Amino acid sequence: MNVPFLDLKVQYKQIEHEVLPMVTEAMTNGAFIGGPQVLGFEKEFAEFCDSKYCAGLNSGTDALRFALMAVGVGPGDEVITVPNTFIATTEAISQSGATPVFVDIDKRTYNMDPQKLEDFLKKRLKPQTSNLKPTLKAVIPVHLYGQPADMDLILDIAQTHNIKVIEDACQAHGALYNNRKVGSFGSVGCFSFYPGKNLGAYGEGGAIVTQDEEIANKIRMIRDHGQAKKYFHDMEGYNGRLDAIQAGVLRIKLRRLSDWNQSRRENAAYYNELLSKIEGITLPVEADFANSVYHLYVILVDDREGLQQFLSDKGIGTGLHYPLPLHLQKAYAHLGYKNGSFPVTESVAKKLISLPMFPELTREQIEYVAESIKEFINR
């Protein structure tokens, strides 16, 4: 048996009969950038995310970068996030002109530990002398692997210390925190539609959602060269728009996203059932407040490299998300962190491995993966 880590082709077969006519229509009408498909998608995605506004963008990285710019983050500022995320989170911080600073994660959920956020802010903000400009401007909790971070606590702490909350929901389209969709809590929620994400385009794509009209308008301006109207620029911006064809693909997929997320949850539950009988591995934990959409199904095992090779030899694809924490990357050597700076992240990074996960995964495939892991552990 062969179990790919991700299979986008089976999903395409389900929607091909809707995608092809949509593409033909776009070609025929010559509507490629903006227009009714993008407006339609923005309306539907805002609704899906329990949010008032949505702006379609070119990528999740743009979403994060523009969100930071729109809430006023810039040169000299600092933005807090976690070291166990994809580098796009911190690239967006640096590219807005600010500097990333990290707090460690919770050892059960692998998401930002609110207690560590609070401790960090208390320590940092106390000795500030009167005329020193406060530099901590925002915090970016990442809803990693599809599981929401603990938003109530994070929002509380952020409000107390007067910093903005930007949600990195790039792996969590449709995930619920206490029955409300992620992305709707902070000043801005940021999404990626990279093909492998739970809601994926057939190319690059991203979006922000927000409850704040002013922020939405600002981001619409930033994505379109700072234009207030055609060829009248209030500021310099970027080319960060969503294509009409990608918006068309996303509208077709959005109608099925809740079902697909439900299938991912069922797949995760079946993995849990089969793998819980095997000793020596740590299964993902869903927090009480969370309804995860399992973008990834990640387990911890001591001999991670051994397991990955063993599964590969059996035709099973796996991934590592992420093998080297950001604070230890060469790209961030200048930030001055070292081995031991974030012990939870570092320990998790050494043991994590992502098993095959997508909605169309079959029970037989899950059984084969679980059997193979058992064979590896008992070898």
**Position with the least CB separation from ligand PLP:** 60
In three-state secondary structure terms, 224 is: strand
326 or 370, CB closer to ligand PLP? 326
Shortest separation between residue 80's beta carbon and ligand PLP, angstroms: 15
Cα–Cα distance measured from residue 249 to residue 37, given in angstroms and rounded to the nearest whole number: 9
77 or 167, CB closer to ligand PLP? 167
Contact residues toward ligand PLP (CB under 6 A) are 59-61, 85-86, 88-89, 142, 168, 170-171, 192, 194, 206
Shortest separation between residue 191's beta carbon and ligand PLP, angstroms: 8
64 or 157, CB closer to ligand PLP? 64
Closest CA to 6 of 158, 190, 150, 194: 194
Residues in the chain: 379
Query: Count of CB atoms within 10 A of residue 104's CB?
Result: 24
The answer to whether 222 and 74 have CB atoms below 8 angstroms apart is no
Shortest separation between residue 206's beta carbon and ligand PLP, angstroms: 5
Shortest separation between residue 232's beta carbon and ligand PLP, angstroms: 29
Shortest separation between residue 326's beta carbon and ligand PLP, angstroms: 11
Render the burial of 283-316: b for 16+ CB within 10 Å, e for the rest.
ebebbebbbbbbbbbbbbbeebeebbebbeebeb
111 or 171, CB closer to ligand PLP? 171
142 or 344, CB closer to ligand PLP? 142
Cα–Cα distance measured from residue 197 to residue 138, given in angstroms and rounded to the nearest whole number: 25
Closest CA to 11 of 316, 359, 368, 312: 359
The answer to whether 78 and 98 have CB atoms below 8 angstroms apart is yes
26 or 170, CB closer to ligand PLP? 170
Shortest separation between residue 314's beta carbon and ligand PLP, angstroms: 27
